[in-house]
Structure 1
Amino acid sequence: MRRSKTSLWVNRILLWLVCLAFLFPIVWLFGIAIKTREESAAFPTVWWPSVPQWQNFTEALTAIDFLGYARNSTIIALISAVLGTLSSSYIAFGFAKLRGPGKKVLFGILLGTMMLPAIVTTIPLYIMFSKIGLTDTYVPWVLWGLAGSAFNIFLFRQNYLTLPEELEEAAIVDGCNYFQIWWRIYLPLSKPIMAAVFLLGFVWAWGDFFTPLLLLSRETTTLAVAPATQYIDPMGRPIPPLIAAGAFMFAAPVIVLFIALQRYFVQGFATSGVK
């Protein structure tokens, strides 16, 4: 009994240490956001400002079109998350339930694409989109969403393999086609994994820096790019407190979204590996 209590407290202490390690960058960023420019550049580092500069957050909102860039980020993130979730689910349903020659080979090729670094395809994608006139538009994100994600397809497929075959057979007897089977039966039964995939897609699109920087203009770019490139003084020098304040407000919606969906997020990953 003593040993079990001791191991319980050890586990709790380790969990608290891990949580503090993950929270430290957020606290550090917040500390820079409420410093003066002199304190942010001081050496040795001033860990906490003598007088918090709360007006930095207000200035970060007004110095650039913060809400406009936040709208652009929301549009792109929702496009990627919603379309990516639905398309990945539908493709995974085909891999899990449809029968046909070469299905395992195609699925293996799909999983193999996860080993290809995204940076390898960046230049070819930019050339392709620029040639057909799709730069400075959100159409590339629509196309990426419709194409699905190999990792998300894998998660959905593992979840669909856990569902009994009798559901599909009963639906076919009732006259449903395969699209209706997916839409009316399998999709509603995969809500936890849908929440997990939606959250992954939203966070990826919301935090993506390089792709909007490459494809979008100054007016249509996202909140991931604007704070790093537009908080500058008349001399062209970056303003660290404003960058930190903008970055903190940029990260806040994702943190809130994760807290709201964390139960479904954990449940989705847990059920995707059970067959």
Structure 2
Amino acid sequence: MMAAKSKPARTTHSSVVARRMRSFMATASFTLFVLMILTAYLSPFGYMVVTGFKHKDVIAEPTAPLWPAVESTFTYEGKKYEIFLVPTEDGEVHKWAMFKKGREESLFLDPENLEAGPIQWTGRWRTLKRDWHFSINWGNFTRAWRELRMPLLLRNTVAIAGLGAIGTVLSCIAVAYGFSRFRIPGKTAIFTILVGTIILPSFVTLVPTYTLFYRIGWVGTWLPLIVPHFFANAYNVFLLRQFFMTIPRELDEAAMIDGAGPLRTLISVILPQSIPVVIAVGVGHFLWAWNDYFTPLIYLLSERDLQPIAIGIQSYNSLYGTEPHLIQASSMLGLLLPVIVFFVAQRFFLRGIVFTGVEK
């Protein structure tokens, strides 16, 4: 009887182990798949970072390592000698300096044992590998900073992106607040038309918009890049409106009982609850304006002193296309501030989520 009862227990244990193995294999496969996608996605960024730190002579060297490095050398009696990885008969590989090259026999120096004098090695020295050591070339960044006129480009880009972000946040908050809280005749139809403009290609309005700005004398200035963002954006209005709709109207009614008007309610009740989405809208526009190339190219093509960093880096690329280390270094300089803004805003974004959850 006891033996008959133990058999189902073993079967149950086997099924549990099998389920755990299947779960582990599924998790491992999914994790591996995600890591492969992440690696493919981040590989251009990795190439940019590695190349930006490399020396010019190393980039074209086929035997150079992937990381930033330079060929190792050894100075002896005022002369520099190249260091090679030299295999010996005992199976070890030594880092020796090439003292005298020969077709079948060469002389090397051991940097750690100079008293031994020149060491004769039999073999063709061209088959030997060079020794490399890690070395970062900060000169790429100083040169790109100077030749790009980076302070001027940063000033222009921060001004365009920052003012545009302020205009986007203010105008979109006002429009979204009206759609979410006020009774407006035909509000649903107007909102539907507004949302429908999201799918409208920007190239459809390009010619009439440029014609308008040209006739009023705005071409060649920052105004076409800043002023339109003070008239709201359909996507951001939709995002803010949907978030405002989740805020209970009882809070508005309580504010009205205390004597608050619509503007006071927006500032004291709605916006404190909407910190995450407001920051998301502001940061999203800032990053978009920072990377925008086409619009500044149209309106600031002939105004070099007003151009943002996207146009500056592209112009630098056309001048130094054969020097990828400078191109990647300039790209890293242009990427530095957006990365800082993103991580700083992310901290406030998460804090806003916590505060919103507590207040609600």
Does residue 262 (structure 1) correspond to residue 281 (structure 2)? The answer is no
Q: Which has the larger radius of gyration?
A: 2
Q: Identity over aligned residues, as a percent? A: 33
Looking at structure 2, the residues matched to 184 and 36 of structure 1 have their Cα atoms a distance apart, in angstroms, of 56
Superposition CA RMSD, Å: 2.9
- Can you list the C-alpha shifts for 1:95-134, whole angstroms capped at 9, x where unaligned? 1111122111111111111111122222322221121111
Match of 2:143 in 1: 59
2:43 matches 1:24: yes
Check conservation: 2:225, 2:296, Cα contact below 8 A: no
Partner of 2:164: 80
Deviation for aligned residue 1:232: 5.7
Q: Secondary structure at the match of 1:219?
A: helix
TM-score by length of 2: 0.66
CA distance in structure 1 between the partners assigned to 2:352 and 2:202 by the alignment:
25
Q: Look up the equivalent residue of 1:17 and give its one-letter code.
A: M
**Higher relative helix content:** 1
Contact 1:223 1:250 in 2 (8 A): yes
Other-structure match for 2:307: 221
Relative to structure 1, is the Cα distance of residues 262 and 15 closer, same or farther in structure 2, using a 3 angstrom cutoff?
A: farther
Q: Does the Cα contact within 8 Å between 1:85 and 1:194 map onto a contact in 2?
A: yes
Match of 2:208 among 124, 135, 144: 124
Q: For residues 181-205 of structure 1, give each alpha carbon's deviation from its aligned partner in whole angstroms, at most 9, with x where no partner exists.
A: 2122111110011111111111001
Aligned runs of 1:194-205 on 2, under 5 Å?
Answer: 194-205=278-289
Contact 1:73 1:222 in 2 (8 A): yes
Residues 167-176 or 218-227, more deviating = 167-176
Contact preservation (8 Å) 2:275, 2:349: no
| In structure 1, C-alpha distance between the alignment counterparts of 2:350 and 2:203, rounded to whole Å | 29
Write the deviation string for residues 213-270 of structure 1: whole angstroms up to 9, x where unpaired.
111210011011101114565xx8664332221111111221222233336668999x
Kept in 2, the 8 Å contact 1:193–1:267? The answer is no
Instruction: Looking at secondary structure, tell me which structure has more strand per residue.
Output: 2
Instruction: Report what 2:262 is aligned to.
Output: 178
**Structure 2 vs 1, CA of residues 253 and 189 (structure 1 numbering), >3 Å: closer, same or farther?**
same
Q: Which residue matches 2:83? A: none
2:332 partner SS: helix
Which structure exhibits the higher relative contact order, with contacts defined as CA atoms closer than 8 Å and separated by 6 or more residues? 1
Closer, same or farther in 2 for the Cα pair 1:264/1:17, shift >3 Å? farther
Contact 1:84 1:149 in 2 (8 A): yes
Note if contact 2:225-2:295 (Cα within 8 Å) is conserved in structure 1. Answer: no
> Compared with structure 1, are the counterparts of its residues 227 and 192 closer, same or farther at alpha carbon in structure 2 (3 Å cutoff)?
same
- Moved segments of 4+, more than 6 Å: 41-46, 266-269
Q: 1:244 to 1:149 in 2, by over 3 A?
A: same
Q: In the superposition, relative to structure 1, how do residues 261 and 134 fare at CA in structure 2: closer, same or farther (>3 Å)?
A: same
Q: Partners of 2:274 and 2:64 in 1: how far apart?
A: 49
Query: How many equivalent pairs are there?
Result: 268
| Paired residues of 1:194 and 1:268 also in contact (CA < 8 A) | no
Contact 1:83 1:146 in 2 (8 A): yes
1:75 CA displacement? 0.9
1:154 to 206, 227, 238: 238
